[in-house]
Amino acid sequence: MKSLEISVGSAITLLNAIYTDHGSAAGIDVHNSIRIKPADKLKFTTHPKQDTVLIRHCVNLIEKILDNKITNVEISTHSILPPARGLKTSSAISTGIIKGLSDFYSLNMPTSQIVNLSAQASIDSQVSITGAYDDAYASYSGGLVLTDTRLKSLVLQTNISINRILFLLIPKQSKVKSTIVKEERRMPISIEKEIIDLLKTGKIEEATKLNTRFYAPILLTNPEIITDISDISNDIIGINGAGPSLFVFCNSKNENSFRRSINESFPEYQLMKTSLKQIYR
């Protein structure tokens, strides 16, 4: 068995699946790497350093398929993004590990199986409330993805483009998913349908506005941050997953002034410029 390395992108949230029947995400060009190599014993290493419970659950699922214990592999993960910020690192890492182990043991898993196992591992390890099926699909294969959360099925995957610059706003503080209460509430069906219709016609900026308007008061400890950033930039702001990270579709003419304003007024956020990633797998 030879060593292998898997590269998986990340994603941004267009329709949060926590209080809906659907979820939507778009792949972005930020890479996470997963390396699998033979070893004398099962070993996990992560960068940045973090809990390996998600990796362990990924391995458990593959062991069930193999009907055998995995004892001879070292799994290493590397991401430039910090965990527990809503930046899809868990989805990227879990799909990459499952893909890597599938290749390592010649299981030849299709994308749908890889994504389903990733979602199950995310639920089992409590790093996701819904399983993040949309996040996993968008991170692993790119493009705009719309999924049915209940059926764990893909509704739509298509390439999209925007005439704006995409920035991630990455806060210093993290957010543990298991602390988020899955309350008996839901997004009004009319709003969910409107967002889905916008996504199906490629109007992701309008869809993002509606998603943010509904979720900001629920998910953000300081929902006023959306208005505060809008006041200085007049750009379109989205919430990544359950937060606390944000993303901004910024007018290219405003890039320099936007950078200055964020650095001066919101030093608690790190800015990262990226772009949407087309379907690549």
Q: Which residues pair with 165 in a beta bridge?
A: 250
Structure tokens at 263: 């650095």
Amino acid 242: pLDDT: 87
Amino acid 252: pLDDT: 79
Compute φ and ψ for 247, nearest 5 degrees.
-135, 155
Instruction: Go through 116-138 and write b for each residue having 16 or more CB atoms within 10 A of its CB, e for each that does not.
Output: bbbbbbbbbbebbbbbbbbbbbb
Structure tokens at 185: 């509430």
Amino acid 116: pLDDT: 95
For residue 38, say if its preceding peptide bond is cis, omega within 30 degrees of 0: no
Structure tokens at 267: 């030093």
Report, as ranges of residue numbers, the positions in the chain whose pLDDT lies below 70: 1, 175-184
Amino acid 180: pLDDT: 56
Q: Which residues contact 199 (CB under 8 A, 6 or more apart)?
A: 14, 15, 24, 144, 146, 156, 207
Amino acid 226: pLDDT: 94
Q: In which element (H, E) is residue 197 found? A: helix 189-200
Amino acid 37: pLDDT: 96
Amino acid 48: pLDDT: 87
Three-class secondary structure assignment of 91-123: HHHHHHHHHHHHHHCCCCCCHHHHHHHHHHHHH
Amino acid 49: pLDDT: 86
Amino acid 177: pLDDT: 53
Amino acid 234: pLDDT: 74
Cα distance between residue 136 and residue 277, in whole Å = 14
Amino acid 129: pLDDT: 79
Q: Which residues contact 189 (CB under 8 A, 6 or more apart)?
A: none
3-class DSSP state of 136 = helix
Amino acid 183: pLDDT: 61
DSSP letter assigned to residue 238: E
Amino acid 34: pLDDT: 97
Amino acid 51: pLDDT: 87
